[in-house]
Copies of this chain bind each other. A is one copy, B any other.
Amino acid sequence: MIPRYSRPDMVAIWSPETKFRIWYEIEAHACDAQAALGVIPKANAEAVWKARDVEFDVARIDEIEAVTKHDVIAFLTHLAEIIGNDEARFVHQGMTSSDVLDTCFNVQLVRAADILIEDVKGLLAALKRRALEHKDTNRIGRSHGIHAEPTTMGLTFARFYAEMDRNLNRLKKARMEIATGAISGAVGTFANIDPAVEEHVCAKLGLEIEPISTQVIPRDRHAAFFAALGVVASSIENIATEIRHMQRTEVLEAEEFFSKGQKGSSAMPHKRNPVLTENLTGLARLVRMTVVPAMENVALWHERDISHSSVERNIGPDATITLDFALARLTTVIDKLVIYPDNMIANMNKFRGLVMSQRVLLALTQAGVSREDAYRLVQRNAMKVWEEGKDFKTELLGDADVCAALSAEEIEEKFDIGYHTKHVDTIFSRVFKD
């Protein structure tokens, strides 16, 4: 994570302040549960809440950790400084550090997921608005980068909407994957702490209990979480790639918004580069690269080893911050994307009707010409357009074999663009269900 590609709300989730606040809540709720069970005095549990509105002193905790070389002990020591050594003596009783660390990490991931889910919702709104706006904006569809048949810009936005809607669903499931907490002790047997404590803390934090843990929460959950982020990132790359193609000089069907005052290249003032979507392409790679290490983290030794920890200290913040930034940036790009319908028409007409060849082929077949013959007829006229710059319709109208099968009206009709867009409403009704 670097500041350039981050937004404050997501960054805040990963701050030491937030982390210690979550640790505190876990410990305080655990004390309540322990007191309710009669394991520790109620007064001590209550005393912990004295720190409810205190801001923890990160520098002080770091200072203690430099001596103890143990982050949770450092925090607990600092907490005791605030609420009193005597009052603090039952804090963390029966718990192991991972009870706090793992539950906290999942709280952070849940919050991160909540932001990402809102991000995608914002993106969906932008995509839907642009889809409806350009529902009937004609545009050539391309396969292999080559003109195929007409489509509309609205369909392009609509398919990105559908893809991101699936991603919304994936993020919701991913959130559920890691929305668990565990307070189960050194090897997950609850030897020193009653399962009721876990239940209470999880309920308070909005988590499910982890049915079976082993000091740590099982890492297949996190692997699934980061894999979901990797899919979302790949979809961002997909949309970004489309826009980069649309903006390239020879196509110029769209441009990223370019503020009047903004300088492009230092040397080529006329250039309007799709730098935001190029950047999104790179950010997608950054998010995606976290998937494999998250999967490598699953196979911990026996009840746990700590190899996953350094990985997660990095990819936890990095993947979520980068994806949040990327989703927000993409939303802005979509929102402000400048569309050039005239250029779309000009591009579509570049090969003088050739894009309609599929229809002509079909019409010939339906008129009784064999598939092979129809193919040959279309091909020979198409080649004249391609190689000699002729107009496809004119050539067809002048081809005796074609005219033997199709009337002039029938040929004319094959070049009606409305033919290609007649099901746009149907598709929209499938995609935008409400």
Contacts and interface: CB of A to CB of B under 8 A. Distances in A.
B186 A358 contact: yes
- Stoichiometry, copies per complex: 4
A361 interface: yes
A19 interface: no
A402 to B, nearest CB: 13
A142 interface: yes
A295 B303 contact: no
A357 B268 contact: yes
Nearest to A141: B187
A295 B370 CA distance: 41
A242 B302 contact: yes
A366 to B, nearest CB: 8
A259 to B, nearest CB: 9
Contacts of A218: 159, 162-163
Interface in A398-434: 419-424, 426-427, 430-431
A181 interface: no
A271 interface: yes
29 contacts: A97-B265, A141-B188, A141-B215, A142-B187, A143-B265, A144-B305, A146-B247, A147-B249, A148-B215, A149-B189, A149-B268, A159-B212, A159-B218, A166-B177, A189-B423, A191-B419, A223-B230, A223-B231, A233-B295, A237-B299, A268-B358, A269-B357, A270-B354, A275-B306, A279-B306, A281-B307, A286-B310, A288-B295, A289-B290
